[in-house]
Structure 1
Amino acid sequence: MERLNKETLLQILRKEKFLYEVNLEGLDLSTADFTGVDIEGANLHGTGAKIEYDG
C-alpha cells in the first residue's frame, strides 16, 4: 500500500491535465488513502472524498 502526499497528488493531476479547473485549497488530505483508484475516473469535487491512486 502506497500513501501519496498532497504534492505528489498535485504532480499527478498536473501531468494528467486534470488540475486546470480543480481547486484543492483547503482540502484535508491528511487522512486520505490513495491506493487502488484510477485518477482518470476520480471525482475530486467536494471534501471528504476518498481519492485513491494505483500507480
Structure 2
Amino acid sequence: MSDRSIAIVGSGISGLSAAWHLSENNKIFLFEKGDRLGGHTHTHVFRHGR
C-alpha cells in the first residue's frame, strides 16, 4: 500500500495508532469532533492534586 489518501474518523488510541502506522507511505486525514486529540486517553486534574 503506498501513496493513498486515507481518512480516519476519531482520534482515540485506535485512530491515532492507525494514522501513525499508515502515515509512512500514505496521506492521512484525521477527523475529530472534539476539541482535543486522544479520545478517552487524557489526563484528569482533580482538586488538591489527587
Q: TM-score, normalised by structure 1?
A: 0.22
Higher relative contact order (CA 8 A, sep 6+): 2
Which structure has the highest strand share of the two? Answer: 2
Structure exhibiting the larger radius of gyration computed from Cα positions = 2
